[in-house]
Chains A and B, each alone.
Chain A
Amino acid sequence: MFAIYKKEMRSYFINAIGYVYIAVFLAISAFVCCFTTLQMQSYDVSTYFIIMICALVVLIPLLTMKLFSEERKLRTEQLLLTAPVTITGMVVAKFFAAMTMFAGTVLFSCINFYPLYKLADEARAADEYAEITSALGPNTAILTGNVIGILLVGAAFVSVGLFISALTENQLVAAVSTMGIILAMIVIGLLKGLINNYAIRFVLSWISVLDRFNYFSYGIFDFNALLYYISICSVFIFLTIRVYEKRRWG
């Protein structure tokens, strides 16, 4: 299982895809960060994270599209499935490889917030009424909450991408379908506001990935939401395993 994880990690970096993903992610995050905070003269990062979640629509498929589809196309899955590794081990290894890439870039992109702290320090130093402005600067609790939140949302998206990749041989089909489904998962949350019927709203909010993100964006660690995201990941990982089991049984 660890061998597969290692192989996946390596394959991100011997192909262009890993670098493309990291570059695009960091470029978007830097741009969005500049635009939503520095440009707006604000220390509030919540818009930044909402926009980044929307950017995941494009970014996550880059990570997940080839996980299984390429193996299937090149018939290398035969190597994995005839090796002494369980299907679960294989799927989980691939999930964690994609997650490592995702989490790594998210954490790395946190350097975007350094200028905010720096600015706040300078503003405080320059201000003679330090008592009043001591609240100036980004709120670290909210920041941390948001980062944890985006990691969980991302994990849910990665598991979706993983599942879709197992369904097709074609990377492009996998990428586009993943984009569509992730987009739908985001849009459902927004759609909810337009519907009056309580029952439908209740169901939609249950499916909506963004709804669960709210508490994190206030800097509150929401245990329910954590469970929710873990469930989503488990469900899609389970479905992926079933896809392989089913194919085995023909």
Chain B
Amino acid sequence: MIKIDHLIKRYGTNYAVDDISFSVGEGEIVGFLGPNGAGKSTTMNILTGYLSATSGTVTVGGIDVLENPLEAKKLIGFLPEQPPLYLDMTVEEYLNFGYDLKNCKLNRVKHLREICEVVKITDVYHRVIRNLSKGYRQRVGIAQALIGNPKIIIFDEPTVGLDPKQIIEIRNLIRNLGRDHTVILSTHILQEVQAVCDRIVIINKGKIVADELTENITRAVDTKRRFNVKIAGPQREVLSMLKSKPGIVYAEALAERDGDAYTYMIESEVGVDIRKNLFYTLAEKNWPMIGLEALGMSLEDIFITIVDHSEEKKKMRGRVSVEKKVAQSVMQATAEKQSSAATDAQESE
């Protein structure tokens, strides 16, 4: 549906987008993830024909955006970072303007009413946009993107500045839209892509760092199982037991104390669920386990480390699979985090 091929956008000597290639299939929801200034918005603006590219090609539904922008734009509904609203219009006037602007052929009244119901703005339909809250404005922006039932919908940071309830609503809305539209969503919130998207494209400093299915990235984190265990018992003995226990590849005592209980971080071998086994062992030794907390599900760690390591990755020869890299990175990050926490705790003592 969308194909971006060696796209470059340069401002002077500064590369906003540096040789990006990826494609999006029909009916896919793709999350475009990156820190501020990574080139997300630039890519989206090029995709929608707002900006032009320095070089490279962008095709939408088989139409080249740069060569035949008018035809391509008909296929796209776009919600920019800041919703493009005319504050002095009512929602009704605004949507009707959008309808005329896009030269929409569907039944006007029926189509607009449907859209309003989908994004839940029917009750503010006759109000002036200036008087609407941020959440409603955002929805009016989304409604505008839906006019004409475009095949492709592009959202640039759709949940910025909304309250948690609204964020959940908008995410649900986007997921529903994904059923019969191709959706691209840019964000720097990781839970968002995890919750909504089928696939994640991570971009940093104008380059693609990772392009994987969401479940692959999630699974990558899951392959090594890591836990924080709180065990009541003599710290040194418990730790040596943990270290020598088969199935555990790594164990470390953390500087966290709760009465006579200490917290340890352990990591089991791939594919081994250590929890039950550990419970019985501890019960035998009469060291009660009073807490068990799974770690490492956070996409945040992956993201930060992938972005940090993208520089090193360039130097590496051959292609290292993302899964492996992710796992390594997560390990490192968590270890660093824990050790820094340990030093902090020591200092406070």
User: Which A residues fall within an 8 A CB radius of B?
Assistant: 2-4, 6-7, 10-11, 14-15, 74-86, 248-250
Contacts and interface: CB of A to CB of B under 8 A. Distances in A.
B85 A82 contact: no
Nearest to A2: B100
B51 A248 contact: yes
Interface stretch (B28-36, B70-78, B188-196, B283-291): B70-78
A11 B86 contact: yes
Contacts of A78: 45, 50, 78, 80, 84
A74 to B, nearest CB: 7
Contacts, number: 71
B85 A74 contact: yes
B109 interface: no
B89 interface: yes
Given A3-B97, A248-B51, A83 B102 contact: yes
B69 to A, nearest CB: 8
Given A79-B101, A84-B102, A248 B86 contact: no
B50 A74 contact: no
B52 A249 contact: yes
Contacts of A10: 89, 93
B240 interface: no
Nearest to A86: B70
A82 B144 CA distance: 12
Contact of B73 (A14, A75, A82): A82
A76 B84 contact: yes
Nearest to B82: A75
Contacts of B11: 250
23 contacts: A3-B103, A4-B101, A7-B86, A7-B100, A10-B93, A11-B86, A75-B84, A76-B84, A76-B85, A77-B84, A78-B45, A78-B80, A79-B98, A81-B49, A82-B73, A83-B98, A83-B101, A83-B102, A84-B74, A84-B102, A85-B70, A86-B70, A250-B11
Given A14-B88, A75-B84, A76-B85, 5 more contacts: A2-B100, A7-B101, A10-B93, A79-B84, A82-B48
Contacts of B49: 81-82
